[in-house]
Amino acid sequence: MPSIVKPPVAHPSLTRNELGLTIRDYEGAMSTLCAGCGHDSITAAIVRALWEMSTPPHRVAKLSGIGCSSKTPAYFVSAAHGFNSAHGRMPPIATGANAANRELTYVGVSGDGDSLSIGLGHLCHAMRRNVNMLYIIENNGVYGLTKGQFSASSDVGSKSKKGEANVMSPIDPVLLGLSLGATFVARSFSGDKGQLVPILMAGLAHRGFAMVDVISPCVTFNDHEGSTKSYLYTRQHLLHATETDFVPDAREIVAEIAPTGGTNITMHDGSVLRFTRLPEDYDVTDRQKAFSYLKQHPHEVVTGIFFADESVPEMHETNHTPATALVDLPYAKLCPGAAQLQQLQNEFR
Amino acid sequence: MLSRINDFAIKLANVNGSGSASANGLIMQAIFRMGVPVSGKNLFPSNIQGLPTWYEIRVNKDGYTARALDYDLMVAMNAQTYARDVKEVRSGGYLLYDSSWPLEKDLVRDDVNYIGVPLAHMCNENFHESRERVLMKNIATAGVLIELLNIDRDVVAQLIEQKYGRKKGLHESNRKALRLGADHVRANFPCPLPFHLQTMNANGDKILIDGNTAVALGCVYAGATVAAWYPITPSTSAMDAFKMFCERFRKDKTAGEQNYLILQAEDELAAIGMVIGASWNGARAFTSTAGPGISLMNELLGFAYFAEIPAVIIDVQRVGPSTGMPTRTQQGDILECAYASHGDTKHILLFPANPAECFDLAVKSFDLAEQFQTPVFLLTDLDIGMNDWVTPKLEWDDSYHPNRGRVLSAEDLEAIPRFYRFMPENGSAVAPRTLPGVSAKGSYFTRGSGHNKYGGYTEIPDEYREVMDRLLRKHKEAAGFVPGPIVEKRKGARVGIITVGGCDAAVREAVDILAEQGTPMDYMRIRAFPFDHPVEAFIAAHEYCYVVEQNRDGQLRSLLILETSAPKEKLRSILVYGGFPLSAKHVLNAIAPEMKTVKTVETEELDAIHR
Ligand SMILES: Cc1ncc(C[n+]2csc(CCOP(=O)(O)OP(=O)(O)O)c2C)c(N)n1
Ligand code: SF4
Ligand SMILES: [Mg+2]
């Protein structure tokens, strides 16, 4: 039997999405993470986002690497196939899976160790390929599962639980994504669901690689004074770059669209992403501005969608594959047959 | 010297990057078209320009085309290796050199005949551009060889026409260069040489193809849609060929859609990850690589083994360890592939011996990988992969249907109360799998961590063991489905010779010579691991067996000792691992000291190691 299963009691008052499913239909097994772990809040936000998007649960493919964060795909959407891969290797596995079947909704979950150390190269190349997927880094600035070593996102001066200070400068996945040409770059905070859920939805709707760095405090190894990824530190330094409210396609006609002053981006699937309260000089379609905005706010955790570009072809488009999944091609279409082989061999004489 | 028809060996010594490859290929192909059994071995350096490179051609009317090791004619066009090259000519043989410069005195042997043709001089006079002069020198050399060896001129003209017919300038230059060489040698030396060619009809409808091209074709015919790789010699041309065939056969002419996706990965860790991801989703996916790539893939190979995901890995072996000698051949990855990854793992290996088998076994790899939900290694090597071989025509049976293994459809899932991923059925050790996106009922969590037969996470010893023991049974079960060994028996044989892969031609030749010398031996070529019953039976039926392979440590022998009940004392290694393909002479010289009747043969190359 699967490790720990939740009692399947559905609350009668739970609302249903377009598919007639309740949020319960998007849940997974009971979490085995530490109570209060930021990763669990992200799991809840993923559940919410997929439910809001009315994504058929069995059409989701959830993948991860290794780490506390990477365990979480077991905790959402039990109806979906999951792939808890090897440390840092989720991007290539997701790339291959997506190559074979472009029709599923890919959700990748990773940690800062998984993505910024052992799997850094893979992350960079998945961005370059613009694999169509939502890629979440559950960033706690620490190796949780191996008990508290510094990760590549630990800030300089940040102290480990043992009291050691980190001396190396961090890798910021947002800056990395911006500089590598990633087509969707965002950051959020696991404790701010109101912001996180719409960002995840925007990422899901994005055509291409949507990287969301989610600051996710580790209560066990990174929530003491001296840590720069603790709840306390993050709450005090949090600053919203953009106020995001994602309205899915079908409900979008409602006259809730922002009046003026925002930038609207039409997503590939036709849905519209609405930005409100953007700073005067901030343009979500301008990569350079994102850099300078981050430069101008060096001491804050800036959250929001920094950059989004729907015009860049994703992996399948650059490879001119059919609109439907490669796995669905009948064998007869793939095998040239005996007559062709016969003819071809004239060239080998 | 007595006249010898269709039975000789020549070696061409060149400088890498000087354009000799196309002239060498031309000669080889012309001989093939004359219907004469022939082989061409390219012994090339890991270098783009400047280092020595050789090309060996062996012609043999009886079909023995493994390396000869002694040469009737040396075409010495590289001053760097002149001293070594002169030594390799058989006594009474010939040496062709460029007489634009005088022949160095100490390189003269009195038992060798010299043929000097002022090739550089002629080309400088007749061609104006410097690059053309260098390239055409090779073609002029081919012209000389046409006369010396009596290569059919019409066949050559036809080849030139096919290759350059559409490029008028090149066509004319090639014809002119050929003429220059031919005219000069005809006017100055008695042509042809005592050993030379005569048209025959031994090639039937055989083809001339390299193993990498054949593997690629196999992957196309097997229906592979996703390929992931990282460039590495000697496997690169396999993916190049796959791409070429896909562009030809898999592109929807009207919509322009490509029914395949080739991913050039960031490294081999990613390449195998992509293959596993695609296979998890139900695609036939493969990677092609060499030893260093397999080393990197180890982590995820263990994952695929434990999580039971199909994967096809083509390993075109080269000389290791480490970077080793990237352009030289070896069979050094047998053990690495058999047990790739940490923990208890065991994989399925297939060993083709020539390009025709590369094609067949590439297809078989996909069937086995999906049937047994596990990685399958197709182990070829540089010699098979990159050299052109005269090989039986590839055959395809249109009634072939891919064996996708047990995959439950949405309807299948409807019919059962609940799906558990690792529950075997019908007495087989294989458990049916489901594909993502098909049905919520089939969903499960793929993991490389401890799991029980239900697919759930576990750290309970019994539950873990149950899964591991089934994986072992699964591997054993595969023995009944992999291609069995090729066995050839001889009357009166008490001793056996076992070999694998590309050693085939040389060992068969040795076995024939041994029989002629009154020492009959039985022959077995292993084609797969796990070993099926006939492998063990063969060893049991002989007093002892030689195991001929191309690595230092006797890896096939080790695997036989580990995985059969054969006692170690019964298996004697004959090992050739310098990086050049095997010759029958290596085998004979290794056996001679133990068998009074067997004669040794003199060669310039190092003898085999015999343990
Ligand atoms: C090849 C390999 N090396 C090391 C490990 C050990 N390991 C497991 S999780 C982990 C770090 C996880 O950190 P992170 O990705 O930040 O996840 P977190 O636990 O913090 O969520 C390490 C080093 C491993 N599983 N595989
Ligand atoms: S160790 Fe930290 S990251 Fe891991 S589960 Fe506990 S709180 Fe979460
Ligand atoms: Mg972490």
Q: What ranges make up the beta strands (E) of B160-247? A: 195-196, 207-210, 226-229
pLDDT greater than 80 at residue A6: no
Nearest CB neighbour to A100, from listed B223, B226, B446: B226
pLDDT score recorded for residue A172: 94
Phi (first) and psi of residue B81, to 5 degrees: -110, 10
Q: Are B571 and B522 in contact (CB under 8 A)?
A: no
CA of A298 to the centre of ligand 3 (A): 22
Specify the CATH number for the domain of residue A136: 3.40.50.970
Does A340 contact chain B (CB < 8 Å)? yes
Check CB contact under 8 Å for A327 and B435: yes
CA of B28 to the centre of ligand 2 (A): 66
Does B225 contact chain A (CB < 8 Å)? yes
Region of A81 (left: φ > 0; alpha: ψ -120 to 50; beta: rest) is beta
pLDDT band at A14 (very low <50, low <70, confident <90, very high): confident
Residue nearest to atom 2 of ligand 2 (CA): A218
Spatial distance between the Cα atoms of B317 and A109, rounded to a whole number of angstroms? 36
Check CB contact under 8 Å for A121 and B267: yes
CA of A37 to the centre of ligand 2 (A): 5
CA of A175 to the centre of ligand 1 (A): 23
> B209-391 with B486-610: one CATH topology?
yes
Alpha-carbon gap: A54 to the closest alpha carbon of chain B (Å): 15
* A196 occurs within a structural domain: yes
Chain A residues with beta carbon closer than 8 angstroms to that of B267 = 121
Does B267 contact chain A (CB < 8 Å)? yes
* A35 occurs within a structural domain: yes
Lookup: tokens for B324: 């080793």
Does B114 contact chain A (CB < 8 Å)? no
Element containing residue A189 per DSSP (H, E): strand A184-189
Check CB contact under 8 Å for B207 and A345: yes
Residue nearest to atom 8 of ligand 2 (CA): A37
pLDDT score recorded for residue A272: 38
pLDDT band at A223 (very low <50, low <70, confident <90, very high): low
pLDDT greater than 80 at residue A341: yes
pLDDT greater than 80 at residue A17: yes
* A13 occurs within a structural domain: no
Q: Which residue of A has its CA nearest to B30?
A: A349
Q: Are B609 and B552 in contact (CB under 8 A)?
A: yes
Q: Are B290 and B232 in contact (CB under 8 A)?
A: yes
pLDDT score recorded for residue A237: 66
Please state the rounded mean pLDDT for residues A160-177: 88
pLDDT score recorded for residue A42: 95
Q: Which residue of B has its CA nearest to A102?
A: B281
- Considering only residues 312 to 331 of chain A, which have any Cβ-Cβ distance to chain B shorter than 8 Å? 315-316, 319-322, 326-327, 329, 331
Alpha-carbon gap: B39 to the closest alpha carbon of chain A (Å): 14
* A327 occurs within a structural domain: no
Domain limits for position A295: 23-319
pLDDT score recorded for residue A163: 77
Please state the rounded mean pLDDT for residues A66-70: 98
Q: What is the ipTM of this complex?
A: 0.96
Mean pLDDT in order along chain B per 10 residues (611 residues)? 87 92 95 98 91 96 94 95 93 96 87 96 95 94 98 97 91 96 97 97 97 98 98 98 98 90 98 99 98 98 98 98 97 98 98 98 98 98 98 97 98 97 94 98 98 97 98 98 98 97 98 96 98 97 98 98 97 97 97 89 84 79
Q: Are A116 and A152 in contact (CB under 8 A)?
A: yes
Check CB contact under 8 Å for A99 and B263: yes
Residue-wise pLDDT tens digits, A112-155: 999 999 999 999 999 999 999 999 999 988 999 998 898 998 87
Four-way CATH pick for B486-610: 3.40.50.920, 3.40.440.10, 2.120.10.30, 3.40.309.10? 3.40.50.920
- Judge: domain B209-391, CATH 3.40.50.970: yes
The domain limits of chain B are 4-196, 209-391, 410-478, 486-610
Q: Residues B21, B26, B28, CA angle at the centre, nearest 5°?
A: 95
Lookup: tokens for A104: 């599923």
Taking residue A259's Cβ as centre, other Cβ atoms within 10 Å add up to 6
pLDDT score recorded for residue A276: 30
Nearest CB neighbour to A86, from listed B280, B299, B437: B299
Minimum-distance ligand 1 atom for the alpha carbon of A138: 21
Does B250 contact chain A (CB < 8 Å)? yes
Provide the number of structural domains found in chain A. 1
CA of A119 to the centre of ligand 1 (A): 10
* Residue A283 burial class via C-beta count within 10 angstroms: exposed 0-12, middle 13-18, buried 19 and up: middle
Exposure string of B378-411, with b = 16+ CB inside 10 Å and e = fewer, is bbbbbbbbbbbbbbeebebeeebebebbbebeee
Spatial distance between the Cα atoms of B502 and B282, rounded to a whole number of angstroms? 32
* Residue B376 burial class via C-beta count within 10 angstroms: exposed 0-12, middle 13-18, buried 19 and up: buried
SS3 content of chain B, % helix, strand, coil (to 5): 40, 20, 40
Does B202 contact chain A (CB < 8 Å)? no
* A333 occurs within a structural domain: no
Q: What ranges make up the beta strands (E) of B448-562? A: 486-488, 495-500, 521-526, 528-529, 544-549
Minimum-distance ligand 2 atom for the alpha carbon of A40: 8
Location of structure tokens 């040496």? B95
* A287 occurs within a structural domain: yes
CATH number, domain B4-196: 3.40.920.10
pLDDT score recorded for residue A270: 42
pLDDT score recorded for residue A8: 55
CA of A112 to the centre of ligand 3 (A): 5
Contacts of A56 (CB under 8 A, 6+ apart): A19
Looking at all shown ligands, the one closest to residue A114's CA atom is 1
In angstroms, the Cα distances linking B337 to A65, A93, B313 are 24, 21, 10
List ligand 1's pocket residues with C-beta within 6 A: A 66-69, 87, 111-114, 138, 140, 142-146, 151
Nearest to B331 by CA among B365, B290, B298: B290
Alpha-carbon gap: A12 to the closest alpha carbon of chain B (Å): 22
Virtual torsion, Cα B597, B600, B601, B607, nearest 10 deg? 140
- For an interface test with A, the pick among B447, B454, B458 (most A C-beta atoms closer than 10 Å) comes out as B447
Phi (first) and psi of residue B2, to 5 degrees: -70, 150
Q: What percent of chain A has pLDDT over 90?
A: 60
Check CB contact under 8 Å for A349 and B33: yes
Looking at all shown ligands, the one closest to residue A119's CA atom is 1
Lookup: tokens for B122: 């002629």
pLDDT band at A260 (very low <50, low <70, confident <90, very high): very low
**3-state SS, one letter per residue, for A214-262:** EECCCCCCCCCCCCCCCHHHHHHHEEECCEEEEECHHHCCCCCCCCCCC
pLDDT score recorded for residue A275: 29
Does A30 contact chain B (CB < 8 Å)? no
**What residue type is assigned to position B267 of the chain?**
D
Report the Cα B318 to chain-centroid distance in Å. Answer: 10
Q: Are B407 and B343 in contact (CB under 8 A)?
A: no
Helices (H) and strands (E) in chain B, counts: 19, 24
Residue nearest to atom 5 of ligand 2 (CA): A33
pLDDT score recorded for residue A268: 29
